[in-house]
Structure 1
């Protein structure tokens, strides 16, 4: 391929260099007091990069799906590919949640705190349950708050003023909206009222996908004489958006530098504060990252096992630009144009498969986010002296899997999902405040898993349909 043979440093190496320089700049910025300069003169370029990818992503999804479906011609094949796509994505999500539960139950990061702090947390939990007047039941028979020797702690906690974290309040509002929705609300939300408005909102990506699938299927039912001009126009528009991705990605190393410099320098006012922040919740973060790394290395292994013509290292190399873009943007939707380019031009998946499977994956396949939720819920329970039973952990598997389907492919959407999972097992949703300080870093890591999973599943499905191009 021409891109592989081009001279100079490969794009993924350039992006890695940009990322490393961004981290170095952040430490210099914090140490020398350049944070205001970084925020005013460097951060905007990172914002421009994400915006550019996002405004490309949604129309690219629409035109790619329509062109991809119209090129299938066979409705039976479309149904088969759709069933495979949803089935494999569902399996990988359940697998991710299960791996997260295994890791966190073995490592038990919540037990790292002192016994005194755990008692304090447990009593705080019990007082919260009592305040709800039976709306939530206790997780076990322990009642430390009723033990006379802890009366002083109970009195202290009861007298403390409740401070509502602004970030928690925002997430709580979004979670409440989802909680109060009816049983078929997810189905209703899939159908757009106005496709133009849906195209302007990344959170409504699922509506764009539904419209595009419907449009593409209807093209198959009209005469070729009338459908051919429409398909030709859409195919041309699709190629223009793909070229936009090429152009934007030429500046990716600089944009990634700006993103990393801005993110890290905005997290702290001193080097010690930044190091403390990165070290806080260390064991919890380590468990999440180890679990995510397990998935990142497992997916290419599955591809190399199921698709004999693709080697492990080769697959890694070809999707690495998408992984690095995912890490820097923390958004599956913003990364989607890059993922499509990597899978089509690099791996060799034919457009009719990638244009259908990848957009669905960016919306419903949140394996990294699902694993993170499983670890976070059990960690927060352990932190408060609560051992969730097997039945409650199975509820976490089901809730995290279902919640991931409707999650927006945008940064920190996982926090809203996490609140819903906490509520489903009767734990305090406000506990997300404990993990918010490290959420941004973990969000970057889990987005890499989401994108890697999308690319892997797309490759496996393409191979099963004999839609994988081989290099001569």
Structure 2
């Protein structure tokens, strides 16, 4: 049932975010340095940290993120099959994929180049005298041949279980093409997947209605444990990365969108609000896929046949926000340890970070693993990651929001170029804004 007086989803998420942050700071004042605050009662004492921080907030936030991730594989698989079946000409897939991958890699290269240039200009690491406390083992950067080989699943069920999105995408594309070429039998199977898609989207709606509570729990837990003094010590580095993320997410994407589609970037950014808030709260591009898909198709006007392919692909290979962090962090760590990087080193960083983004999981903290790989390639001490790890959590949230914005921007550009874009939906400011309220009490009475 729909309640006309209910606030919009965006408003409720913002309320949840602000409430969680304020409560987190309040609890941090009560429990500085991860101490505890105990309320004595007649029979037993109540530990605030055990009951709320490690209990309600931790459990509620983790269940919310797990619920979003639960939807990712079935949503991508079913939506992509439906989209593939709807394409009259299956050869279009190659063209769509080529455009999307090219744009994703180009924006990633632009992101890291801009970030390194900004870091060299502002020199956030000069005069910093810090030592590393933790050693990180860097993984070897995969070769281009290995990247392509690992895209194809030897066992699709293993790909589903492990959440390997590139392999899931490849299998879904092949399965969808086979359905499209199978005549009457394919039509029957196609109708089954269309019905499954309706059911899964209903599940997305249910979770989106629960989102404000999940966001509240996530941020209350995060800001209770966040070390604010660390952010102050690394303020210059934090500021450079944050500034670069904001400029890339607003200016760079807006220029590309306007240049290739002629659409109004302000309208695009406004319609991205829900997806950006989800991405910021979860720090996971993969967990945000259901909301990104909803935004692209129902608010921006992209046809599902395009969005079902480019959105999950972007969540897997589009790491612009992570690339910005790596660019600034590489220059910062080099300056901290007084290491001079040559032009070839900078080019190596750009190439390694861009290629390493392909197939990297869109989950919280993965940027630090990729950074270790990049530092290893140019001979910088990998243990330098310990210097920036304290402020990475907040930056991780911001760069995920940038990644998701880039996913939708590229999706819009590809859809417009393929004639699979509804401009009237894009121009309608109320398109997709009404989130259906689920009356759980009514459902229970009927069952």
TM over 0.5: yes
SS at match of 2:272: helix
Matched, 1:106 2:67: no
Instruction: Give the helix-richer structure, 1 or 2.
Output: 1
| Superposed CA offset, 1:145-170 (max 9, x none) | xxxxxxxxxxxxxxxxx96x3xx55x
Distance in 2 of aligned mates of 1:9 and 1:315: 22
Q: 1:80 maps to what in 2?
A: 95
The residue aligned with 1:282 is: 235
Q: Which residue of 2 aligns with 1:464?
A: 417
Q: How far off its partner does 1:263 sit? A: 1.1
Counterpart-to-counterpart distance in 2, 1:419 and 1:105: 20
* Shift of residue 414, structure 1, vs aligned partner: 1.0
Residues 340 and 183 (structure 1), Cα distance of their counterparts in 2 relative to 1, 3 Å cut: closer
Secondary structure of 1:334's aligned partner = coil
Aligned to 1:441: 394
Contact 2:147 2:358 in 1 (8 A): no
1:73 is paired with a residue whose SS is coil
Is 1:35–1:266's contact at 8 Å kept on the other side of the alignment?
A: no
SS in 2 for 1:109: coil
The counterpart of 1:307, out of the listed 261, 264, 274, is 261
The answer to whether residue 139 in structure 2 is matched with residue 186 in structure 1 is no
Which residue does 2:22 correspond to in 1?
24
SS at match of 2:421: coil
CA deviation map 1:43-96 (0-9, x unaligned)? 211111111110101111111111111111202322211111111111111111
Within the candidate set 61, 69, 73, 2:76 is matched to: 61
Map 1:327-366 → 2, pairs under 5 A: 327-366=280-319
Unaligned runs of at least 5 residues, structure 1:
122-161, 268-273
Structure 2 distance, partners of 1:6, 1:376, is 48
Q: Is the 8 A contact 1:407 1:414 kept in 2?
A: no
Q: Secondary structure at the match of 1:12?
A: helix
Which residue in the other structure is 1:44 paired with?
59
TM-score, normalised relative to structure 2: 0.86
How many angstroms does 1:339 deviate by? 0.3
The answer for the alignment partner of 1:370 in structure 2 is 323
Query: What is the CA distance between 1:304 and its match in structure 2?
Result: 4.0
**Residue number in structure 1 paired with 2:381:** 428
Aligned mates of 2:74, 2:233 — CA distance in 1: 40
The alpha-carbon deviation at position 313 of structure 1 amounts to 2.6
Deviations 1:236-260 (A, max 9, x none): 1122111111110111111111100
Conservation of the 8 A alpha-carbon contact between 2:283 and 2:400 = yes
1:201 maps to which of 162, 166, 180: 162
Max Rg structure: 1
Which runs of 5 or more structure 2 residues have no equivalent in the other structure? 31-36, 38-47, 426-447
Alignment-derived partner of residue 124 in structure 1: none
The structural deviation recorded for 1:27 is: 1.2
Q: 1:228 aligns with which of 168, 175, 187?
A: 187
Q: Name 1:253's counterpart in structure 2.
A: 212
Deviation string for 1:377-403 (max 9, x for gaps)?
111001111221111101111001001
Other-structure match for 2:269: 316
CA shift for structure 1 position 10: 2.4
Are 2:385 and 1:387 aligned? no
**Per-residue deviation, 1:11:** 1.6
Q: CA offset at residue 312 of structure 1?
A: 2.6
Instruction: Tell me the CA shift for residue 280 of structure 1.
Output: 2.4
Q: Distance in 2 between matches of 1:373 and 1:108?
A: 15
Q: Is the 8 Å Cα contact of residues 111 and 321 (structure 2) preserved in structure 1?
A: yes
Matches within 5 A, 1:235-274: 235-267=194-226, 274=227
Map 1:113-128 to 2 at 5 A. Answer: 113=128, 117=129
Shift of 1:7: 5.0
> Runs of 4 or more off by more than 6 Å in structure 1?
none
Structure 1 residues 168-192: Cα deviation after superposition (integer angstroms, max 9, x where no partner): 55xx2xx43x45x676332332222
CA contact (8 A) 1:35 1:265 kept: no
Quote the offset at 1:217 in angstroms.
2.1
